[in-house]
Amino acid sequence: MPPADLLDTGDIAAVERYERHFYQAYTRLTDNRLVRRIWIFDDERQRVRTSIPYRDQVVYQWRPAPDAEPGCYLAVNLEVKRAFQSAHYGFTPEPGETCCEFLNVMTASPVPAGRLFAGFIRDVGMRDLVDRGFDVAYGTCTRRLLAPYLRLGAQHAAARTIDGEERHLLRWPIGELTARSGRG
């Protein structure tokens, strides 16, 4: 698998490309309306970004080939103590954990989910986050994605129903998951 890199948030064209991919990935998901409460949608320009400022996050991007456009992204909040995106749904992290928060995981090109997780999220994103000193990552998902994420190593931490839509808080033991994969 070609290496991943970080989105250069100082590169206006790269950020615009990322935000357009982000928009395209989520606007067609009609069962995921609650994201409009936590993310900033610009329907006119067809862009979306999280409410967590870029200065507080890192965005990993994977390219299917070294000279290709990014095909997958993982945005991570590194400053959970300053702002926790999942708090919009009434969730809080466990006290005392050294944690970060998955803000967004998406693909801009067709990539099998298992390959996306094993080759990008775990081996690149999680490994780097562990190297940065994090043991746990939190994130939320819809009911549709709960079972697949649990099979991939997430732990179900809590659930809420908001305006008839379920949201689940996941706890990813990234230190354990990367050690188990032989990369820790």
**7-26 pLDDT tens trace:** 999 999 999 999 999 998 88
Query: pLDDT tens for residues 116-145?
Result: 656 677 777 888 999 999 999 999 999 988
Domain ranges of the chain: 4-180
Given a contact cutoff of 8 angstroms between Cβ atoms, the answer to whether 172 and 139 are in contact is yes
Q: Above 50 in pLDDT, residue 1?
A: no
Q: For residue 169, what are the CA distances in angstroms to 13, 20, 86, 135, 155? A: 33, 26, 8, 17, 9
**More confident: 140 or 182:** 140
Q: Above 50 in pLDDT, residue 183?
A: no
pLDDT at 167: 94
The winner for highest mean pLDDT among 31-35, 154-158, 176-180 is 154-158
**More confident: 30 or 136:** 136
Q: Above 90 in pLDDT, residue 78?
A: yes
Q: Return the closest-CA partner of residue 168 out of 79, 99, 90.
A: 90
Q: Lowest mean pLDDT of 71-75, 83-87, 139-143, name the range.
A: 71-75
For the segment(s) 4-180, the CATH number from 3.90.79.10, 3.30.9.10, 3.40.50.1820, 3.40.630.30 is: 3.40.630.30
